[in-house]
Chains A and B, each alone.
Chain A
């Protein structure tokens, strides 16, 4: 009898802090967000959280998507940004991992480290790097290079000149987020390649396979599962990420609408000084949560997650 209790006590001790944080900062906020999405909360007038409006916010959202050109742009941007960045991150990560795998391990270590640097860099700093680069006058690195090369004779405002929209803004956000995201695929694929038994590769070499054939017929097929995993996982991350986009938009590096994805739209709707409509933001967030949950469940499937839940041993 005492035994059972001591195990419960141990469990409570070990799990309580994490569970408390998960409940207070994941579960309750999620429920609260759903709640808010049915109310008329704006400008943080918290009393309005008791003002129910039913599905009005969701209806508004659908209406905006159909009739508000700004929101329409946001939706378009979300689709283009997510799919193209996904492509960049998965294929780029694969290419980087292959390159790193082929060359000497110590050299590849420096490259791999270099490529995860953007992921670790403070967001404000990373934004600053590209603020300079894409600046819209001849002071911007890109403009000055293109001017010098004679490609253009007037500096271009990449983020605001309507003649280069939407693609200039899109390419910038894809580029900046790609640099941050590509390292995930690289690390996962590289470790997958490293776990391919070396015997297989040596045997293939003995059989006269070229390096390309080894990549094509051994490495990539062995990392098949990782490929699926990285794709779904990155899809999820790209749908939910917004901090880098936030600085690019706020600092005017890209167009306000063509630089805003759905997540950022949620954030700006709730927090930007101008608009500030939390209930609408919450409704938009709920949609994101639903998509996220579906993708998350797919990840669980893909990861053969059940195999990872091996019970611990021992009964003490």
Chain B
């Protein structure tokens, strides 16, 4: 043990322990190979962004179209025009609503995931209770549950509960407990609720594992110190433990946000024609390259991609650790 620790320390001191295994020309070849393997990824993303600034598809490198660089595609997108020739299909307000809706779903998923999985992860990490082991096993199983088996039933409930709920609310509106304007937008709120909560639920098992990993790393003594100092379990959680898992909360929030942001299936089912994902989907399903003006779709996709890329640049290592962290336990 001590020997190992000594070795570790000496390793920190001596940089050669940290050096890569392969150096010089061989490393160059390896990096080149990696680069080559990565070309599909690099090129495809580049093509997309480049096309969004061009008057034609830049995906087709050997066809001699005259390429003009332009921001016209973004303008058209925001005007709701799907091609230079066509008229406005959507209003600018529609387009902004798509973006806002996508954002609402992502933010909602984030909120639901954070609010439910942080306390649950804390309990599993810190409190001994009957059924804890079984709960952990269950979470592990749900982690890999076929989501498609759920969405049928969830949609069933969605339809099944809609009118009784609406009627109940209408009765309440009569008594004045619920505002009439809320009733008017009931359908929309109801759909958003289902998208958000159902999509968030899919993330819950993994999120609890991820957060549990972060809680596990907090020394027990800190919490005990707080409790001996006179704190209740809640206070110790709020004042001592929670501030210390901020990086974990950040990682979780980013993951949840991206999960809500990238989703297509749930918005396709519950909020068709209302988000960026379904906008792109509608342009391509049924259409063809000859009839769909792709630069505008590329502009929409690029805008859709921006938050993802932003999180990428900002969080880097956190992201890599978290992909695995949720499983490490």
Residues of A in contact with B (beta carbons under 8 Å apart): 6-7, 10-11, 13-15, 17-22, 24-26, 28-30, 32-33, 36, 41, 44, 46, 49, 96, 99-105, 107, 109, 111-125, 127-133, 135, 137-141, 144-145, 147-148, 179, 183-184, 187-188, 191, 197-199, 201-202, 205, 211, 214, 233, 236-237, 239-240, 242-243, 246-247, 250-252, 263-264, 266-267, 270-271, 278, 281-282, 285-286, 288-289, 292-293, 295-297, 299-300, 303, 305, 308-309, 311-316
Assembled-state Cα–Cα distance A274/B199 (Å): 25
Q: Which of B107-138 contact A (CB under 8 A)?
A: 112, 115-117, 119-120, 122-123, 125-129, 132-133, 136-138
B41 in contact with A29 (CB, 8 Å): no
With contacts A137-B290, A308-B329 known, is A18 near B146, CB below 8 A? no
Which residues of the other chain, B, contact A115 by a CB distance below 8 angstroms?
38, 41
With contacts A26-B150, A113-B316 known, is A296 near B117, CB below 8 A? no
A246 in contact with B264 (CB, 8 Å): yes
Assembled-state Cα–Cα distance A100/B261 (Å): 29
With contacts A13-B234, A117-B45 known, is A141 near B132, CB below 8 A? no
Q: Is B85 interfacial (CB 8 A cutoff)?
A: no
B312 in contact with A299 (CB, 8 Å): no
Assembled-state Cα–Cα distance A209/B141 (Å): 42
With contacts A33-B149, A132-B57, A314-B220 known, is A17 near B120, CB below 8 A? yes
Assembled-state Cα–Cα distance A124/B151 (Å): 19
Q: Is B200 interfacial (CB 8 A cutoff)?
A: yes
Q: Is B250 interfacial (CB 8 A cutoff)?
A: no
With contacts A120-B258, A292-B144 known, is A28 near B127, CB below 8 A? no
Which residues of the other chain, B, contact A7 by a CB distance below 8 angstroms?
127, 129, 233
Which secondary structure dominates where chain A touches chain B? helix
What are 11 A-B residue pairs whose CB atoms fall within 8 Å in the complex?
A17-B120, A26-B201, A113-B316, A130-B44, A132-B294, A144-B62, A187-B323, A199-B11, A202-B17, A270-B152, A292-B144
Assembled-state Cα–Cα distance A263/B159 (Å): 22
Interface string of B300-325 (1 = CB under 8 A from A): 01001100100110001101100110
Q: Is B140 interfacial (CB 8 A cutoff)?
A: yes
Closest to B27 in A: A103
| The one of A129, A199, A233 that contacts B45, using a Cβ cutoff of 8 Å | A129
| The one of B26, B127, B146, B320 that contacts A240, using a Cβ cutoff of 8 Å | B146
A113 in contact with B320 (CB, 8 Å): yes
A299 in contact with B144 (CB, 8 Å): yes
Q: Is B276 interfacial (CB 8 A cutoff)?
A: yes
Residues of B in contact with A (beta carbons under 8 Å apart): 4, 7, 11, 17-18, 20-22, 26-27, 30-31, 33-34, 37-38, 40-42, 44-45, 47-48, 51, 57, 59-63, 112, 115-117, 119-120, 122-123, 125-129, 132-133, 136-138, 140-157, 159-160, 197-198, 200-202, 204-205, 208, 220, 223-224, 227, 232-234, 237, 258, 261-265, 269, 276-278, 280-281, 284-285, 288-290, 294, 297-298, 301, 304-305, 308, 311-312, 316-317, 319-320, 323-324, 327, 329
Assembled-state Cα–Cα distance A102/B156 (Å): 51
| The one of B201, B233, B285, B329 that contacts A10, using a Cβ cutoff of 8 Å | B233
Assembled-state Cα–Cα distance A103/B29 (Å): 10
11 additional A-B pairs beyond A14-B119, A124-B276, A264-B148, beta carbons within 8 Å, are: A19-B120, A103-B27, A122-B305, A131-B284, A135-B289, A139-B63, A187-B320, A239-B146, A240-B146, A263-B148, A270-B151
Assembled-state Cα–Cα distance A185/B127 (Å): 32
Closest to A289 in B: B149
With contacts A30-B153, A118-B41, A309-B136 known, is A247 near B320, CB below 8 A? no
With contacts A30-B153, A285-B149, A311-B132 known, is A138 near B262, CB below 8 A? no
B156 in contact with A36 (CB, 8 Å): yes
With contacts A187-B323, A314-B224 known, is A148 near B62, CB below 8 A? yes
A18 in contact with B117 (CB, 8 Å): yes
A114 in contact with B140 (CB, 8 Å): no
Assembled-state Cα–Cα distance A32/B132 (Å): 26
A243 in contact with B264 (CB, 8 Å): yes
With contacts A28-B153, A179-B41, A300-B141 known, is A18 near B60, CB below 8 A? no
Which residues of the other chain, A, contact B22 by a CB distance below 8 angstroms?
102-103, 211
Which residues of the other chain, A, contact B258 by a CB distance below 8 angstroms?
120
**Closest CB in chain A relative to B238 CB, distance in Å:** 11
Which residues of the other chain, B, contact A32 by a CB distance below 8 angstroms?
153, 156-157
B152 in contact with A312 (CB, 8 Å): no
Considering the complex of A and B, which 9 residue pairs feature the smallest CB-CB distances, nearest first?
Answer: A25-B201, A18-B120, A29-B153, A14-B123, A32-B153, A285-B149, A17-B116, A240-B146, A132-B59
